Amino acid sequence: MPYRITITNTGESYACAGEDNLLKAMEQLRRKGIPVGCRNGGCGVCKVRVLQGDCVMNKMSRAAVSEEEQRQGHALACRVQPRSDMQVEVVGRMARAVESRRSASFSFDFRGEGRMKQSDKEN
């Protein structure tokens, strides 16, 4: 059963199955601009803060997420598996990419629906 993951930075949401991690579900939407690094909990590129919901946080590098940060809800999206609907805040490099879509003329939201602004120029 897929869970609804809401990104509070933008208000967007997407579905993520319990056996998948948050980053894998984001990648499957083929949205450009999602930073992806090692996909294995070591680089810290996909850092998020879990604000609400239940999840499993698998082992991740302490260089990327300290024990104190983890106590505050920080984790790497590649190492988080949902167990309920969740609300997350993207932070660091991922936040810049997600929030920059607001000014893009062509973008995909996390539900996979494309929106395109018509150009005044003809091709």
The confidence score (pLDDT) of residue 95 equals 77
Judged against a pLDDT cut of 50, whether residue 118 lies above it is answered with no
DSSP 17-28: ETTS-HHHHHHH
pTM: 0.75
Q: How far apart are CA 14 and CA 44, in angstroms?
A: 21
* Model pLDDT for residues 24-70, shown as the tens digit of each residue: 998 877 665 667 788 888 899 999 999 999 999 999 999 999 999 99
